[in-house]
Structure 1
Amino acid sequence: MYRRQTHIVCMIVCQCFLTAAYKHVIFMHGILSGPWESSELEAYIQQVHPGTNVTSIDAFTFLGSLTTMWTQVYKIQIQVHQIMEENPEGIHLICYSQGGLICRGLLSILQHNVESFVSLSSPLAGQFGDTVYLKYLFPTYLKENLYKFFYTERGQNISVANYWNDPHHQELYRMWATYLPVLNNETHNEQSFKFKENFLRLKTMVLVGGPDDGVIAPWQSSQFGSFDSNETVIPMREQKWYINDSFGLLTLDKRKAVHLFTHHGVQHVHWYRNRTIFDCCIEPYLT
């Protein structure tokens, strides 16, 4: 009887020790969706790291995700900051699609303790393309003329417009887009030094995307690539804000903290539920 009780106690202690070793994971959903996106991902995490605390952000769901990006960032940061305080040993961020850009904002405004930021097919360098999402929201517009609405005071009330990066109208982009140029320190920003300092607190950044995504345009935006005026993709390491280290990306890259993964055959809505992607690009960074 004594041996049996001792065995049970040892099992409980070991389980508590293992659970404590796994850092809290926060998942940020994509546009026109919600926290339920993470259900399969959470199941994968529990299989390999049982007992891991996972928080899927339940805010700005469905059409609420079209709220301006800064509004989303500053509201969500309250919950994220609390989780950080409760987990001084560090946390992980897994962020999908538009959620990846929201997480970029969190990494800029917070003195965070994020160990790994895993970005799944996020428009980190902006969006410029006709997609099913845009056709749903703006059925009469083409990508070539969306700037006429997006780069206006009224247009900037929509999240997508805050990071719409039209390569043919860069002056208007920097003048009007209220989110992405600010994060990139492409425009005047009184908090630019603080943004960069906070971003550099990050230990590891994992950038996942691929050519069969079908939504993020160009798909290389998931790895900080964007179009030039000829709609040829400028890769991350050739971007001006990378070369100038405007927000710390060059420094992170020199630290070997930036990991790029390109996968073929994965459509946009499958990145967070694909087991191969999890095993390759997510699980190794959840230590």
Structure 2
Amino acid sequence: MMKRRGGLSQLISLVITLCTFCEAGYKPVIIIHGLLDDPSAFTGLTQFIQEAHPGTNVSVIDLFDDLESLLPLWQQVGNFTEAIRPIMKSAPGGVHMIGFSQGGILARGIISTMSDHNVQNFLSLSSPQMGQYGDTSYLEWLFPHKLKEELYKVCYEDYGQDISVCQYWNDPHHHDLYLKKNNYLPILNNETYNDKSQEYKKNFLKLKNLVLIGGPDDGVITPWQSSQYGFYNSSEAVIAMKQQKVYAMDSFGLRTLDKRGCIKTYTIPGVEHVKWHTNETVFKNAILPWLS
């Protein structure tokens, strides 16, 4: 009987050890919050991840919360990078990164400028990756006396570029000013001259997968297809990702990733902008498969 009990005890210990190993085997997840947001908004998403993958280290970076999210994006990229570098160094197997809304634009900046990043899968969750051009409740609050047709007069001035939203404001009727005056998104897209363009492209291409999540009922990202690298032309017709100049020219590696089969898009109707990270269906179908 003692031998049996000893064998059973050893078996239980082995199972516990194996379970602990499996739980610890999930890659850390780094989350970058959006405009006028803070980490508390991501309690639900953190819980989803940890319930599905027990033991996962989930870090919602507590920087540039609420009104501070309006500060210049390059400043934010630098500080976020320093905050997440220790997380990456402690994870030799790599990490996954989720960027929500403006956080997706920031995450892209981090990945593109960080030569030693080890992001495996980048999940862009309802993020204006090709820019924003539309009247929304956010803009009405920020610029109460400006319509979208007039906002370029603010955003494409030097003082406007001190406001995060203006650094991805992409007015299709003033594309020349966007290229000349916008000092963030056109640089990431390599649409304008940048002596680090090839370095940024090389860093971006280190990704294993780029996951683009958005939908027609978002209500904030305009056009919503910007979340999947589509955008307006000068007639405000939406041009899909593969017809975009940045794709055709492979300006920052988008076409290369696509040819590798590394881009996955999810178009999910019925989800409002602020609900993406609390929607369990979105999590199970579009996020969870990429967090292994």
TM-score range, shorter chain: over 0.9
**2:36 partner letter:** L
Aligned mates of 1:31, 1:116 — CA distance in 2: 22
**2:234 partner letter:** S
* Residue 3 of structure 1: how far off its partner (Å): 4.9
1:268 and 2:273 correspond: yes
1:144 paired residue number: 149
1:230 paired residue number: 235
Aligned mates of 1:66, 1:8 — CA distance in 2: 53
CA-atom RMSD in angstroms: 1.1
Residue 70 of structure 2, aligned match among 60, 66, 78: 66
Identity %: 51
Greater mean deviation of Cα atoms: 251-260 or 9-18: 9-18
Q: Gapped runs of 5+ residues in structure 1?
A: none
Aligned mates of 1:207, 1:256 — CA distance in 2: 13
* Residue 5 of structure 1: how far off its partner (Å): 4.4
Aligned mates of 1:155, 1:110 — CA distance in 2: 26
Aligned mates of 2:50, 2:97 — CA distance in 1: 16
1:257 and 2:262 correspond: yes
Written as runs of structure 1 = structure 2, the 5 A alignment for 1:171-186 is 171-186=176-191
1:193 paired residue number: 198
Residue 54 of structure 1, aligned match among 58, 67, 70: 58
Aligned mates of 1:80, 1:125 — CA distance in 2: 25
Q: Secondary structure at 2:108's aligned position in 1?
A: helix
Structure ID, larger Rg: 2
Residue 136 of structure 2, aligned match among 127, 131, 143: 131
* Residue 36 of structure 1: how far off its partner (Å): 1.2
2:114 paired residue number: 110
Aligned mates of 1:39, 1:11 — CA distance in 2: 30
* Residue 4 of structure 1: how far off its partner (Å): 6.0
Q: Gapped runs of 5+ residues in structure 2?
A: none
* Residue 42 of structure 1: how far off its partner (Å): 1.0
Structure 1 residue ranges (4+ consecutive) displaced by more than 6 angstroms after TM superposition: none
Q: Secondary structure at 1:51's aligned position in 2?
A: coil
Aligned mates of 1:186, 1:85 — CA distance in 2: 32
**2:23 partner letter:** T
* Residue 43 of structure 1: how far off its partner (Å): 0.9
Aligned mates of 1:63, 1:79 — CA distance in 2: 19
Residue 38 of structure 1, aligned match among 39, 42, 46: 42
Written as runs of structure 1 = structure 2, the 5 A alignment for 1:206-217 is 206-217=211-222
* Residue 2 of structure 1: how far off its partner (Å): 3.8
Aligned mates of 1:96, 1:238 — CA distance in 2: 25
Task: State how many pairs are aligned.
Answer: 287
Residue 119 of structure 1, aligned match among 107, 121, 124: 124
**1:242 partner letter:** Y
